[in-house]
Structure 1
Amino acid sequence: MLSYCRKEKVFIFRNFFSITVCIFALPALYLTHCRSAWMALLFCTVYLLIQRFSSSVRRRWIIRYTFLLIIFLGCFFYFYKPGSVHGRILIWKVTTQMIKEKPIGGFGPNGFITEYMNYQGDYLKTQDSKGDKQFADNNHYVYNEPLRWMVEYGLAGLILYIGIVYAILSFKPKGVSSLSAKMICVSALIWGLFSYPSHAYPILVIMTMAMAEMANHQRESLICISPQWHIYHKIFVCTIIVVQSYLLVQMYGCHQTLFQIIQRNATDKSEEAIADLSQLEAAMKDERIFWIHYCRILSESRQYNLLLKKIAHWERLYPSTHTYILKGEALRGVGKMKEAEESFWTAHYMVPSRQKARYKLALLYNQEGRLSEAMQLANEILTEKVKIYGFETYEIHRNLRQIFGNKHFYSP
């Protein structure tokens, strides 16, 4: 429609449309409470202002005011959510321990997700800092993309990441579309220093489109395919698209079946759900959501021997306190008390501020007749300051008081 309008009208309409989008987008951005996104917007605005003014004096003043604004925002962001800041610092400290262990090759794709909680448990087990233990939680995000690349791909990953950053920053826009594409990528880079854009599918899609637009303006830098290989290139790409589409359709069908099984499990017998889930094992062996639901259904049906075999997949893909508490309950159910105790302690060291693992230990000690240790844990749980008091915490405290009585507990 705009192609039939005069250039002056197109320019006016484009400005009006841009202002309208900003009016509606800025309140929505504030309501996200995402400080990393706010910081990304600030950097992009400053970059555009620097590009807008050719005077070196004005550019210096923009940089000075920006530096002061960053200091102010840094203080504001800290006091806005201080717990979040301390939590990220803890995550980065644990992540550096992971990098020290495998600095060259890394832990491989998804290595952070599969290994971080184990390292956090080991780190907090040897630390006396109450602050770190209070801010720790089940976490599978690094909140810093350069660190994630180093954890998963080692030194080669860091070099590749620096190369991507250099390619984006050195790109010279030739119009509004290419400038917008560059700003999208720069925003994602800034956001990635404090958050996890690689785990947000819409952001990945938008970044892919933006980088495709940037590549479209760099055709002279691309390697040209000789005419005789052009047809083979098309066949190869089409084959990849067809195969990937088929695999996606198959996986979508498996997820839909899994959802139906979970929905039916509330009313059907667990045996039927377990039989249906066992048929999905081969197709969903690397899907953590599958193993989480599978293990929970096995726990509800008290099939502990089978659960201990299957929960190894959950440990491999997505370890957390829930994993080891469920494993400890299964070990306790088959009479392996020593292994159950170790599993509960592993869950506790991962997130010391949570009380469920220690609650399970108190019940285990009480069952074994180790009353003094059980009483010590119960006293600790009932008298300490709770990070988040919810229904689960209420049930834990109520059950402990019913089992051990109120008169034994005192504040240290």
Structure 2
Amino acid sequence: MLLLCTVFVVDDSITQGIVIGQTFWFYKTLPAVALATFCSYLINKNPIGFSIVDGLFLLFMISGIVITWFPARELTPITQTLFNVLILYFLIKIQLSQVHNSSVILIVCFLLSGFIEAVWGLRQLYGFTHSQHSLFKTTGSFYNPGPYAGYLAMIAPMALHFFLRGNNALNGKITRNAILAIAATSFISIVIILPSTASRASWLSAIAGCLAVMIFNNRQLINLFATVKRKKIAFISFIGLMALTVAFYSLYVFKKDSADGRFLIWKNTIEQIKDNPFGVGIGFYAGSYGKYQAEYFENKNGTEQEEMIAGVPQYAFNEYLQICAEWGIFPFLLFLTILALSISSAIKNKKIAPLGGLISLLVFAGMSYPFSLMPFVISLIVLIAICNSSEDYESINKPIARVPVFLFYISAFCSTVYIAAQQKEIYESYQAWTKSRYLYNTKSYETAEKSYSEEYEALKHNVEYLFEYGHILSNIKDYRTSNLILGRAKERSCDPMIYNILGKNHQALGEYDQAIEHYLFAMNLVPHRLYPSYLLTRLYIEINDLEKAKESVQNLLDTNIKITSPATEQMRNDMKNVLDSLEKTTSRSTTNDFVDGCENCF
């Protein structure tokens, strides 16, 4: 229960308090999970088996740990998380084998979490409590409505199953009625709040999971379909296909730019996978992706519409493509095999509730980024473990001996405690960074640099911290160190502002070729942004290359702006003045004086 409470964690005392706070909670909770599971094993002493899925999952996670360990040769946050997730899976599997109906208890906990989240969202919707994001009314405990809706969509099929049949899962009239009440209230509250999130991915995933629950809960429907004649099957299939086509098209039109933006990301991610069959490294997707999007627009492959919708994705908005891009093709195939065997096992053993939840989560993962958030990772592990568990202890032919089990528990407990103890120092660094950001935001760069430098070792894997630290160093004219920090940031992010600052650093150092390269990259990465063109124009004027300066100004004036603001209007007006000046004079001093007068445009 403590583990599943990860979804409710919102830590306002640190930067990125939702995502980071949930991760810290997971680290702190896992030693307690290991200890509790060990006590359960000592009390019940039921045999423990080892399945094919267990072996594949072990191989999959070890491959991830190896991928993250070798480039850095240290326990990075990703390596620690993967190691803990591996331990969690086997702890859950062991617990499921020790206590009868553990899977039912876990799913009821899911239902309770879904009900609490739905009520949380309803309170936000009607103004009784604040949202986690100023731009959205309904986010629950998440940062935006997308993941929030995805979590509710995952719970909905499980609630539906217990509402239809799950009340027979446990003995005792009071217990059955209690579960029925929890399932009904969870499902109804989710159905009420889900439309307000405007998340198409969650709607589709909820429908897919609920359909799976209804189909596999109704064997008569399956048998009836099997007896229908082929002509009727063809007719029904045609009608269903037409209905699906209309539904998908309606959802596409509902938020067309968002859908087109994801298609653009998927298109470039596929090219990324083709060039990197062994993966680009876990956590390095965004940095690598930026090169492909910039090259795509540089080669004039993008349409005008694509140039307008291009963004700066941190995720692929398709977990299957992102896993393949980061981990490589072989681990990706392992992952697909684990999922396929889990679904097959759930159908075979009639574990309909976790099957519905898993299908919903997997559909949502095809259109969003749930596995980048700890509550979804925990949910995936728990659902896979339940789908592959068996409460028939007599069916275990070759149970694992007690000595290896004891060794596993000792190593699991010690390692999780060690990792959790390390988090104390990192958490304090996050708190210090949160306080130091006030200095950064008020442009007290000299003082801020001292604070930021002290937290570098603990936070050097955080992109937002690296960007701010690199920007501070650039403003205090420590350009070389700034380039090193921002060089680390650009490996993990494709934010064009990183390249803009790198370009300004090289320009200040007199390294004009490198500066031009970074400005052009930022221009190609997100073509509808004006700032890189503005910086490039200033550089050409500084080196007295007036022909290229004219070309750069014209490019800026011809650029279609996605969002008009006072800053963009000021830029356009300034560039028009620059163009007029360049046409009237060839004097370098005159043009430099003019550019110096534009320093306060931003």
Q: Give 1:32's aligned amino acid.
A: T
Equivalent residues of 1:99, 1:106 under 8 A apart = yes
Task: Please name the residue that 2:214 is paired with.
Answer: 49
The CA deviation string for residues 6-53 of structure 1, in whole angstroms up to 9 with x for no partner, is: 955655554444333233212322222221111111111221221233
Q: How far apart in 2 are the matches of 1:221 and 1:42?
A: 36
Structure 1 position 23 matched with structure 2 position 188? yes
Q: How far apart in 1 are the matches of 2:407 and 2:295?
A: 52
- Which residue of 326, 332, 341 maps to 1:158? 332
Q: How far apart in 1 are the matches of 2:397 and 2:371?
A: 25
Change (3 A) 1:235 1:157: same
1:250-329 to structure 2, matched below 5 A, reads: 250-266=425-441, 269-329=444-504
Q: Give 1:290's aligned amino acid.
A: Y
Q: How far apart in 1 are the matches of 2:539 and 2:437?
A: 30
Which range is displaced more, 127-136 or 70-79? 127-136
Structure 1 position 195 matched with structure 2 position 368? yes
Structure 1 position 381 matched with structure 2 position 546? no
Equivalent residues of 1:98, 1:151 under 8 A apart = yes
Change (3 A) 1:157 1:272: same
Q: How far apart in 2 are the matches of 1:172 and 1:129?
A: 44
- Which residue of 390, 401, 405 maps to 1:230? 405
1:361 Cα offset (Å):
1.1
Task: Please name the residue that 1:90 is paired with.
Answer: 264
The CA deviation string for residues 343-383 of structure 1, in whole angstroms up to 9 with x for no partner, is: 10011111112111111112222233333433333333335
Q: How far apart in 2 are the matches of 1:242 and 1:222?
A: 33
Runs of 5+ in structure 2 lacking a partner?
1-166, 584-602
Equivalent residues of 1:353, 1:386 under 8 A apart = yes
Alignment length (residue pairs): 403
Q: Which has the higher contact order (CA 8 A, sep 6+)?
A: 2
Q: Give 1:157's aligned amino acid.
A: P
1:403 Cα offset (Å):
4.1
TM-score by length of 1: 0.87
Change (3 A) 1:169 1:250: same
Structure 1 position 334 matched with structure 2 position 499? no
Which range is displaced more, 209-218 or 305-314? 209-218
- Which residue of 242, 251, 265 maps to 2:417? 242
Task: Please name the residue that 1:115 is paired with.
Answer: 288
Equivalent residues of 2:284, 2:491 under 8 A apart = no
Q: How far apart in 2 are the matches of 1:91 and 1:304?
A: 32
SS at match of 1:306: helix
- Which residue of 323, 341, 346 maps to 1:167? 341
Equivalent residues of 2:343, 2:387 under 8 A apart = no
Q: How far apart in 2 are the matches of 1:406 and 1:35?
A: 51
Q: Give 2:525's aligned amino acid.
A: M
Equivalent residues of 1:117, 1:140 under 8 A apart = no
Q: How far apart in 2 are the matches of 1:152 and 1:128?
A: 24
1:129 Cα offset (Å):
3.0
Identity of aligned residues (%): 20
SS at match of 2:459: coil
Equivalent residues of 1:181, 1:213 under 8 A apart = yes
Q: How far apart in 2 are the matches of 1:299 and 1:324?
A: 12
Q: How far apart in 1 are the matches of 2:171 and 2:403?
A: 44
Equivalent residues of 2:257, 2:309 under 8 A apart = yes
Q: How far apart in 2 are the matches of 1:376 and 1:223?
A: 75
1:66 Cα offset (Å):
4.8
Task: Please name the residue that 1:348 is paired with.
Answer: 523
Q: Give 1:43's aligned amino acid.
A: A
Structure 1 position 79 matched with structure 2 position 244? no
The two structures, once aligned, show a CA RMSD in angstroms of 3.0
Q: Give 1:347's aligned amino acid.
A: A
Equivalent residues of 2:473, 2:482 under 8 A apart = yes
Equivalent residues of 2:210, 2:356 under 8 A apart = no
TM-score by length of 2: 0.61
Task: Please name the residue that 1:125 is paired with.
Answer: 298
Change (3 A) 1:123 1:385: closer
Q: How far apart in 1 are the matches of 2:559 and 2:294?
A: 20
The CA deviation string for residues 158-177 of structure 1, in whole angstroms up to 9 with x for no partner, is: 3112212212211236999x
Runs of 5+ in structure 1 lacking a partner?
none
